[in-house]
């Protein structure tokens, strides 16, 4: 499989996910505006993947500002303003401000150095964010695989695979790990309206992994649960609040309610970079509202009357009480989640020697200029 994202010779290469699975096209981002467009239009998508793309976008920002002659504080301030513009491309997944917060710390530490040294340090940090993400996902896979019995039927929503992360995947990483360990399993793939991340991307990834799957429309999930054909529901996350309330792709909440009604365990798989201790609960998570035509049309074919009023929230919040466990690289967290989430984040902070302020979603904290 072509890498989701790769940074080489000052260029960010992104696999264009809007064209999958029909076309495999890699786009080249040499300017911050191209990175922003790619994130906003979902060419790169999924919480950890946009964190990584945002970090490399930060490297591109510093390089272009230096090319245009900025040095010292001018270079640092202009780069931070670009970070803020990148941050604003998508509001829900906390991984984006989290990654840019780390990049901001690097700018502050190296602002007084030569521009080459600053750019090298930013590149190193972005590489480290990507490396840590793959490592975390592999650990999530190992912990999560223990929850998947041989012969299990797993239902997933949206795409939380290698495409949505630096590599390997979170929810799909768990499925991948169970498969690699030789367990037989079958996956129900929700198509995930309106943008069909399940039908287009999860089905494509499972195909490549050789894991048997069945594609269903979102509204079929309850039917198969009622027939006893779903053993476990497994999804990714865009932002996990301090109390465990979890924002993920629109439709996830419905899956969780259905799972509870049928006595089916509902697991969230996510790295600690998706945990936001600054957001107390799901009510405070900013929910992205996307364009009406994504709902009013099916692909490029309009299906609704031209004047139809449309709502298009891209994410919903699953309350913590519906979540059986949160699979992280630090292990499987169980309710009540508040202490377990804080413990996992703090352990990760200690291991990385990072500060509290780096994790704040508003950590970039620079007015757009």
217 SS3 class: coil
Q: Which stretch binds ligand MRU (CB under 6 A): 1-9, 40-48, 219-227, 259-267?
A: 40-48
Q: Out of 48, 97, 141, 166, which residue is the one contacting ligand MRU (CB under 6 A)?
A: 48
Which C-beta is closer to ligand MRU: that of 201 or that of 340? 201
Q: Does 4 bind ligand MRU (CB under 6 A)?
A: no
Q: Which stretch binds ligand MRU (CB under 6 A): 45-53, 113-121, 181-189, 323-331?
A: 45-53
Which C-beta is closer to ligand MRU: that of 65 or that of 200? 200
Q: How far is the CB of 282 from ligand MRU (least distance, A)?
A: 14
Which C-beta is closer to ligand MRU: that of 58 or that of 194? 194
Residue 361 contacts by C-beta under 8 Å, 6 or more apart in sequence?
Answer: 94, 97, 98, 101, 276, 278, 279
Determine contact, residues 314/249, Cβ cutoff 8 Å: yes
Q: Out of 12, 47, 140, 233, which residue is the one contacting ligand MRU (CB under 6 A)?
A: 47
Where helices occur in the chain by DSSP H, the ranges are: 32-40, 47-67, 72-87, 95-110, 115-145, 171-180, 197, 203-209, 221-226, 252-261, 293-296, 337-352
Question: Count of CB atoms within 10 A of residue 40's CB?
Answer: 17
Contact letters (x/-) for ligand MRU, 280-319, by CB under 6 A? Answer: ----------------------------------x-----
Q: Is 82 a catalytic residue?
A: no
Q: How many residues bind ligand MRU (CB under 6 A)?
A: 18
Q: Out of 46, 166, 244, 325, which residue is the one contacting ligand MRU (CB under 6 A)?
A: 46
Residue 8 contacts by C-beta under 8 Å, 6 or more apart in sequence?
Answer: none
> 67 to 96, contacts with ligand MRU by CB under 6 A?
93
Mind spelling out the 3-state secondary structure of 171-204? HHHHHHHHHHCCCCEEEEEECCCCCCHHHHHHHH
Q: Which stretch binds ligand MRU (CB under 6 A): 180-188, 234-242, 320-328, 351-359?
A: 234-242
Determine contact, residues 270/366, Cβ cutoff 8 Å: no
Alpha-carbon gap, residue 103 to 261, rounded angstroms: 43
Which of 82, 133, 190, 238 is an active site residue?
Answer: 238
Q: Which helix (H) or strand (E) holds 275?
A: strand 275-276
Q: Does 156 bind ligand MRU (CB under 6 A)?
A: no
Alpha-carbon gap, residue 318 to 283, rounded angstroms: 10
Alpha-carbon gap, residue 11 to 369, rounded angstroms: 24
Q: Out of 126, 234, 237, 268, which residue is the one contacting ligand MRU (CB under 6 A)?
A: 237
Select the residue whose beta carbon is closest to ligand MRU and give its number. Answer: 236
Contact letters (x/-) for ligand MRU, 157-196, by CB under 6 A? Answer: -x-x---xx----x--------------------------
148 SS3 class: coil
Which C-beta is closer to ligand MRU: that of 76 or that of 276? 276
Question: Annotated catalytic sites, by residue?
Answer: 238
Interface positions with ligand MRU (CB under 6 A): 42, 45-48, 93, 158, 160, 164-165, 170, 197, 236-238, 248-249, 314
């Amino acid at each position: 499989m072509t890498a989701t994202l790769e940074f080489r010779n000052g260029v960010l290469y992104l696999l264009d996910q809007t064209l999958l699975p029909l076309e495999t096209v890699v786009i080249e981002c040499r300017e911050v505006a191209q990175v922003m467009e790619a994130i906003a239009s979902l060419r790169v998508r999924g919480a950890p993947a946009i964190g990584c793309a945002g970090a490399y976008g930060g490297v591109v920002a510093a390089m272009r500002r230096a090319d245009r002659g900025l040095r010292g504080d001018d270079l640092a301030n202009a780069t931070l303003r670009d970070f803020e513009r990148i941050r604003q491309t998508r509001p829900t997944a906390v991984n984006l401000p989290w990654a840019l917060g780390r990049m901001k710390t690097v700018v502050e530490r190296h602002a007084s150095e030569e521009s080459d040294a600053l750019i090298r340090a930013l590149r190193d940090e972005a590489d480290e964010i990507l490396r840590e993400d793959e490592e975390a996902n592999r650990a999530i896979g190992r912990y999560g695989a223990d929850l998947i019995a041989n012969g299990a039927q797993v239902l997933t929503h949206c795409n939380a695979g290698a495409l949505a992360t630096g590599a390997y995947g979170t929810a799909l990483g768990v499925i991948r790990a169970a498969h690699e360990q030789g367990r037989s399993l079958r996956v129900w793939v929700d198509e995930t309206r309106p943008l069909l991340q399940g039908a287009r991307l999860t089905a494509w990834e499972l195909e490549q992994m050789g894991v048997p799957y069945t594609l269903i429309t979102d509204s079929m999930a309850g039917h198969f649960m009622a027939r006893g054909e779903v053993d476990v529901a497994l999804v990714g996350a865009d932002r996990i609040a301090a109390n465990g309330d979890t924002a993920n792709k629109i439709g996830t909440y419905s899956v969780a309610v259905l799972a509870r009604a049928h006595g089916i365990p509902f697991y969230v798989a996510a790295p600690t970079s998706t945990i936001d201790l600054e957001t107390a609960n799901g009510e405070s998570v900013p929910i992205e509202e996307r364009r009406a035509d994504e709902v009013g049309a099916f692909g490029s074919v309009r299906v609704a009357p031209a004047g139809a009023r449309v709502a298009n929230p891209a994410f919903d919040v699953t309350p913590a009480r519906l979540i059986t466990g949160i699979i992280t690289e630090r292990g499987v967290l169980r309710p009540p989640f508040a202490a377990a989430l804080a413990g996992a984040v703090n352990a990760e902070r200690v291991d990385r020697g990072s500060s509290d302020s780096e994790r704040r979603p508003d950590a970039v904290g620079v007015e757009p200029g």
